[in-house]
Amino acid sequence: MNGYKKWLIAALLISVTSTALIVGLTFESKTFDALREIRLEYILAASLFHILAYIIWGVRFRTLCKALGYRVNFLRAIEITLSSAFAAAITPASAGGEPLRIHLLHSDGVPIGKATAIVIGERLLDAIFILTSLPFAFYIMRNVFSNYELDAVFLTAILLVLIILVMFLFGIWKPEKLKTIIYGITEKLSPFLGKRADSTLSHFRMRLDMEIDFFHESVRTFFKEGKTGLILGIAYTILFWFVDFMPLILILKGLSQMPPILTAISAQIILAMILIVPATPGASGVAELGAVPIFSTFVASPILGVTVLAWRAVTYHMNLLIGGIISLKVLKDMDLIKKITGSSSELKQVP
């Protein structure tokens, strides 16, 4: 069995099992009443909004390519991003999406350095949006979470966000200094980790060195060659996330519940931050179980499980379905991890 099939089966099993558990634990008599009165037009609208988010993602991807001097056919941009969404949905920590986008761009004639800059630029725009939105999300949710322990957690999270943002800026301004600081921290920690950790720390430093250089060069490339495209990329990033936050609101509307819109968006921003870390394929299981305590603050208990089920179906299982179908067209060999070959596109250097 190919590697991608194993990850796909694992992702589906984890997601379906965790969702079934949540639905089973929250199902009650009032759930039947909510399901009988469900308005399917809102569920359909939620799906259409997620599809619209795909389109915005493709437009952003195409804009960043153009900013660095490469024109990508619109449909090809959609194909690459959807195939990437599928790869991300079946690989641990969603790590398969970026390498696939880089590979497909490179196979279309974009130099590997520029392709990496484009993809890292996308990742950076998403990270900046989530990190800068997180303090506002915590502020909006402050009345929902009145527990002092949770307040302490939120303050800690905001502090970590500020530290990460400072590291981002420092990585742009003084990459070598950032490396020196992190190397110094790892050196101080190494005696506590034992001799066996030496090789791990060495590998970590090498990987860190490469990632900081990639990050610095990518940002530098955009500021030198694609400032206008970067500004448009920021606008498309904001639009993308707000459009992709709408399905949850529409699903709840379909279940005859209207949450405060800012609260629903803030909850998803917090959840997006949590889902950056998990090592399960496409954050399966973690997303479903993580959504329960966060959504429960504004979703009625009888429809909590159904809400998580519908939200995950629209925002995750659609990625598997549509991304998988597109991947069949784009990829000649479906082994996304070991052997990726893409189809050609209409791509040319901008004069």
The per-residue pLDDT for range 214-250, each reduced to its tens digit, is 666 667 777 776 678 888 999 999 999 999 999 999 9
Higher-scoring residue by pLDDT: 343, 283: 283
- Specify the pLDDT at position 27: 78
Cα separation, 163 vs 223, whole angstroms = 23
Check whether 345 has a pLDDT greater than 60: no
Q: Which value, to the nearest 10 degrees, does the dihedral of the CA atoms of residues 250, 255, 261, 265 take?
A: -70
Flag whether 168 is in a domain.
yes
- Specify the pLDDT at position 246: 95
Among 88-97, 167-176, 220-229, which stretch is predicted with the lowest mean pLDDT?
Answer: 167-176
Flag whether 284 is in a domain.
yes
Residue with tokens 């709408």: 246
- Range with top average pLDDT, 28-37, 92-101, 157-166, 264-273: 264-273
- Range with top average pLDDT, 156-165, 193-202, 255-264, 337-346: 255-264
Sequence-distant (6+) residues with CB within 8 A of 284 are 10, 11, 12, 14, 15, 18, 316
- Range with top average pLDDT, 14-28, 187-201, 232-246, 282-296: 232-246
Q: What value does the mean pLDDT take over residues 4-14?
A: 74
Flag whether 251 is in a domain.
no
Q: How many domains does the chain have?
A: 1
Flag whether 101 is in a domain.
yes
Cα separation, 267 vs 192, whole angstroms = 37
Q: What value does the mean pLDDT take over residues 40-48?
A: 93
Kindly state the percentage of the chain with pLDDT values over 70: 70
Flag whether 37 is in a domain.
yes
Check whether 148 has a pLDDT greater than 60: no
Residues 307/264, Cβ–Cβ less than 8 Å: no
SS3 (DSSP) at 199: helix
Higher-scoring residue by pLDDT: 344, 84: 84
- Can you give the residue range of the structural domain that contains 153? 3-245+256-349
Flag whether 327 is in a domain.
yes
Q: Which of 160, 136, 170 is nearest to 262 (CA)?
A: 136
How far from chain centre, in Å, is Cα 320? 14
Q: Which amino acid is at 217?
A: E
- Specify the pLDDT at position 42: 93
Flag whether 96 is in a domain.
yes
Higher-scoring residue by pLDDT: 210, 100: 100
Q: Which of 49, 56, 59, 97 is nearest to 245 (CA)?
A: 49
CA distances from 311 to 52, 119, 161 (A): 16, 27, 26
Flag whether 250 is in a domain.
no
- Specify the pLDDT at position 190: 66
Q: What value does the mean pLDDT take over residues 52-72?
A: 91
What pTM does this model have?
Answer: 0.77
pLDDT band with cut points at 50, 70 and 90 for residue 287: confident
